[in-house]
Amino acid sequence: MKPRSDTMATLIPTQGLAEFTSHRGSPIRANAGAGSGKTTAIVERVAALLESAVPPHCLLIMTFSRKASENLRQRIRLKVGKAGEDITIGTFHAVAVREIRNLRETSGEKPHILDTNDSVDLWEQAFDEIPSLPPESFADNLEQMLQSIKPPQTPPDPKKYWKSTLKKLGGFLHDLRSEQINQNLGGENFGDFAVPRLLEKSELAGFMAFWLDLNAWADEGLTNYERLKTEQNCLDYDDTLARWAHALHHDASYRNAIHLRYQHVLIDEYQDTNYLQEHIIQGLNCANLTVVGDPSQCIYAFRKSVPRPMVEFHRRYDNVKEIALETNFRSKDEILDVCNHVLKTHDDLIRQDARSPMARLVLKGVHGKGGAVQRLQFAGSQDENLALLNWVKHRLRQGAAPSDLIILARTSYYLSPLEILLRSENIPVQIWGGNSLMESKTMKDVTAFLKIALRPSQPSNFKRLARLIIGGERKHDEMFLRWKMGVAALEGTEGFMGTVKRLAAWAAEEKHTPEASRAATIVTTAIDNLKKYISPDLEKLPFKEKKEFEAIEMALREVMQKIRDENPGAPLKLAEVITRLSLDPATLQSSGKKVTLSTIHQAKGLEWEHVLVAGCHEGKLTFFKNGGRTSREETEEECRLLYVACTRARQSLTLTHVNEPVRFLRACPLKVSLPEKNQNIQNPRP
């Protein structure tokens, strides 16, 4: 895998790049094609602004991911030196958290940020407070309902089943509330928004509707949820953006101040924004707004990202300067021919209902011909997997490094059989696209101990710990009262470290689950050595008995080091570490000596010498819904997925499918081969 910075370090000057770096006085929309050196173009524009006497503290750069913001920060500092430290660079959420906390500095303790698990727990608590136990008829009808939607089974206790139903539906409503906020639909009439979607997601909700007013139930649950957050002085992930947007559009003094502070605003990966983020942008100083992106690479619909804000940018801003960056510095011409075919298909889709002055991109290479492309059709998935194994072995025999190879698919489970085959051949492999380390149970357990140590008297922090300790839902209230009494007796005497150690001792004394004791040991060790974390040499912590612990240590150190890099000289606080873990989990560096199996989403923004895209057939690269039909938006996103996958390749691109390919490939001028069973995939001739 080649970092983008290596490939794009020295761009060949183009008219588009010159216009991008020099234009002043009106908004810029830069349509930056895949491999066009977008990051380097942003760095060059920042350098040009500083050279023209724009103070660095007047620049605000916002990105879609922390990985992108870190890359930009490093590249800008290399280019402009110390001045780069005064530029505000961060994700939308990171900048929003800082602004919200600054706004609330005079109103008491700064709010802490709930991660997704904490938010769902709070939703459950909100619904627990609603007196909505089912009538007697619930027990009578429960068995019949279960038989209709599940295999025959003995019906559970009605009250326990009702509680688990509330928990499940609470999780659905948490997701629907997030969808409502990120579509910038406001906070009113939540029940009207959520219930129709809830009924589509859950047959249980339909059963509940016989005796319960779901709209009123959802609205009351939201009211309780908001009250609990206020009482506990916390914000969830979506609140950070919603509160900032509200301040920008309803607090004139704050808006005027931030307009004076940030005179130039740059948005990276603009195609990945959602409607709420676009609402935030409109509240900033847009006189010198610069947005950079490629609507053909918008593939995060599950995060509420939509390409429309970029496609329709000219409708919201005056005197827009249109710039196209279409010189591709990555791929050979043969690969670009395939990419341009898919790109044209996508552009035809989005332009049917959006008249945009954006020029249609046609990627133009600088490396000439000599690339290898092929499309292979198989009779079944077993044949395809064996062929993929042979492709890896053949490339390695030809001298390719394992790190030069990647096999992409839409979902990680599609690659699971191939992973087994590769490991059986002792081929080193790494998987991208499954649960990250920061989403693992062990890391969540560690974070739970850190949170309750920081705020030991807060019920929401205690809930996961209680589940961890007792392995179920029993006696949470009783356990919390016992813990809270113990904390109150020690307040002002033992301090933070005493609280942590008491927590660890309490878990051991109560003979709780091994996982609880293990997490307590990790946290106690980590806090005991916190000074080593903060010191410049970042000495390693001494819990190495398991590889997972080593990985957790590395991830925590990475988070802490990034905080120090972003705030030079400022003391490192545990509250900030926990907020960062909740807001944007860390990722570990991948190994450079392994073949990569990855989802297409995880590979975006990266490149490899040799790329194979597996499962390019209907039902795998595309998902059928609603009786085999997909919506217009889903069809567009599936086309974009294929485009992103193809544009990862530098030297060779192979597309494989079982039976007929996806519709986006059927008209592609690329000869299809039908390998016989167990036949090696040879390198195609350029």
How many other C-beta atoms can be found within 10 angstroms of the C-beta atom of residue 594?
Answer: 18
Look up tokens 């050279």; give the residue.
51
Distance, CA of 269 to CA of 273 (rounded, Å): 8
Q: How far is CA 414 from CA 69, 302, 427, in A?
A: 31, 19, 18
Give the phi and the psi of residue 24 in degrees, each rounded to 5. -140, 155
Q: From residue 276, how far is each of 93, 196, 240, 268, 293 by CA, in Å?
A: 12, 22, 11, 16, 17
Alpha helices in 33-157 (DSSP H): 38-51, 66-80, 92-103, 116-128, 137-149
Residues whose CB is less than 8 angstroms from the CB of residue 214 and which lie 6 or more positions away in sequence, other chains included:
191, 195, 198, 199, 205, 208
Query: Does an H or E element contain 364, and which?
Result: strand 364-365
Q: Are 104 and 184 a contacting pair, CB within 8 Å?
A: no
Q: What is the four-CA torsion angle of 600, 602, 603, 606, rounded to 10 degrees?
A: 150
Detail the residues annotated as belonging to a binding site for ATP. 32-39
Residue 611: beta bridge partners?
406, 653
What burial class does residue 435 get, using C-beta atoms within 10 Å of its C-beta: 0-12 exposed, 13-18 middle, 19+ buried? exposed
List the beta bridge partners of residue 673: 376
Is there a contact between 232 and 462 (Cβ–Cβ < 8 Å)?
no
Tell me the C-alpha distance between 305 and 606, whole Å. Answer: 20
Annotated binding site: 32-39
